[in-house]
Amino acid sequence: MITRRQGLKTTLFGAGLVGLRALATGLPPSFLLNPSRAFAGGAVPVCGSNAKAQYIIFNTSGQGDPINASVPGTYEDANIVHSTDMSMMATPLTLNGQSTMAAAPWATLPQNVLDRTCFWHLMTNTPVHPEEPNVLKLMGVTAAGEMLPSLLARELAPCLGTIQSQPICLGATTPSEGLSYGGAPLPIVPALALKATLTSAPGALTNLQALRDQTMNQLYDLYRNGASPAQQAFVDGLVTSQQQVRSINQSLLDALGSIADNTAASQILAAITLIQMKVSPVISVHIPFGGDNHRDVGLATETSQTVSGVATIVSLMQQLATAGLADQVTLMSLNVFGRTIGPGNTDGRQHNPNHQVSFTIGKPFKGGIIGGVAPVGNDYGALAIDSKTGAASTSGDVSALHSLAAFGQTMLAAVGVAPAEISSEVNVGPVISGALA
């Protein structure tokens, strides 16, 4: 019988554990899948060449967190209601030279991080929790109804040489937060399950050095007799030494061994580990930012989770820098809807189909505020956007209704997807070039 743990290993690392073999040897999965063909073709095996390609940590929530109540772009109008807790006081910060205000936690992001942080004022056009999958499909404008994280993963996998092209879902707390790929639902892999699968003895990582030696021995005759000098030099340049494997092995085991639960902090640690192992281009997580706070006396939950949520992002950025991944990983968020921010929202907030705020943090982005808000009925909604500048504008060429689709197009452009491919994947736009570095 195939155990759940064996099934998860196959899901993560492919048939024959080609992903672990790639990690252990340094050789691309595509090469290990068919080295005879690679050598017989007469060409040096190559990976993708997209210089803009990024790994994506994709934060999503079907609860409709009140992120839009604490971010830059909502402090210019005195009628917008913010938490009055001292830990959330309005605080100046600078985004790539642009002075603005936000709740105090956002100002704790280091300046070099703020300079590549965008806050996107968007309209998802739904107030319904179960519509989260459709929001991730950009409300019907993606080819074949593919989700944005899956579009990104499919485009990035060949460039990054990852083990699989499907995204990995670590943080779904409800069925609506689960991901699909090619129309098929993907499994949810909690952080603790990942730890148990990879660190148990004998486990996937505990045998990494033996797997390296076994794989290289299997390749040796083919390598010696079937490769040209140029191909041999290519392989020699990629092969990981036994000493390097020991270091990788211990580093990953230490990281995974410290996972004690399935909280946001543990999901982040698991996501970084999966990126270091080149398993998938896109890892989805759930960082709480207030949740479904209809009844939240004094906005206490909103306050505490905003403080902890931004602290999680600060920690993520520190971990990426330590791992040498600061320029290779982008954090991106998209939720089902935002929350009401007009007068009267002091003990809880309602669903807001007209205003949701996403954030992106990464090398491809120029820090700033994309779009803005204005009164809509007795609350607030997103404004139209000028695609060339990213600024809110009543005459902007991106209407509020199309801002979600334009966000999707811009995410694809940010990671180097060609314009023709973008327009074939998302049929409403345009790209908001003012957000791109």
Q: What is the pLDDT of residues 357-368, one digit of tens each?
A: 999 999 999 999
Residue 225: pLDDT above 50?
yes
Averaged pLDDT, 34-44: 71
Q: What is the C-alpha separation between 231 and 22, in angstroms, rounded?
A: 17
Q: How many CB atoms lie within 10 A of CB 329?
A: 22
Q: How many CB atoms lie within 10 A of CB 369?
A: 23
Does the CA dihedral 278-280-281-286 come out positive or negative? negative
Spatial contact of 40 and 263, defined as CB atoms under 8 Å apart: no
Q: What is the C-alpha separation between 361 and 315, in angstroms, rounded?
A: 13
Q: What is the C-alpha separation between 328 and 52, in angstroms, rounded?
A: 9
Residue 321: pLDDT above 50?
yes
Q: What is the pLDDT of residues 329-356, one digit of tens each?
A: 999 999 999 999 999 888 999 999 999 9
> Given this model, what pLDDT does residue 420 score?
95
Domains and CATH numbers, the chain: 1-46+209-261 (no CATH), 52-190+279-435 (3.40.720)
The mean predicted confidence, pLDDT, of the chain is 91
Quickly list H helices, 200-299. 208-226, 229-238, 242-257, 264-276
Spatial contact of 279 and 162, defined as CB atoms under 8 Å apart: yes
Report the DSSP beta bridge partners of residue 185: 180
Q: What is the C-alpha separation between 338 and 352, in angstroms, rounded?
A: 5
Q: pTM, whole model, 2 decimals?
A: 0.91
Cα–Cα distances in angstroms (integers) from residue 297 to residues 75, 97, 136, 340, in the given order: 22, 36, 31, 15
Please report how the helices 242-257 and 208-226 are oriented relative to each other, as an axis angle in degrees rounded to 10.
150
What angle (nearest 5°) sits at the alpha carbon of residue 104, between those of residues 56 and 89?
A: 145
User: Which of the four pLDDT bands, split at 50, 70 and 90, describes residue 46?
Assistant: low
Q: Write the burial class of residue 217 (CB in 10 Å: 0-12 exposed, 13-18 middle, 19+ buried).
A: exposed
Q: What is the pLDDT of residues 51-60, one digit of tens each?
A: 899 999 999 9
Q: What is the C-alpha separation between 160 and 177, in angstroms, rounded?
A: 25
User: Which of the four pLDDT bands, split at 50, 70 and 90, describes residue 250?
Assistant: confident
Instruction: Give the residue from 361, 277, 283, 370 showing the smallest Cα distance to 327.
Output: 361
What angle (nearest 5°) sits at the alpha carbon of residue 138, between those of residues 136 and 142?
A: 105
- At 290, list the tokens: 């207030």
Q: 262: which DSSP letter?
A: S
Instruction: Give the residue from 357, 342, 290 showing the smallest Cα distance to 63.
Output: 290
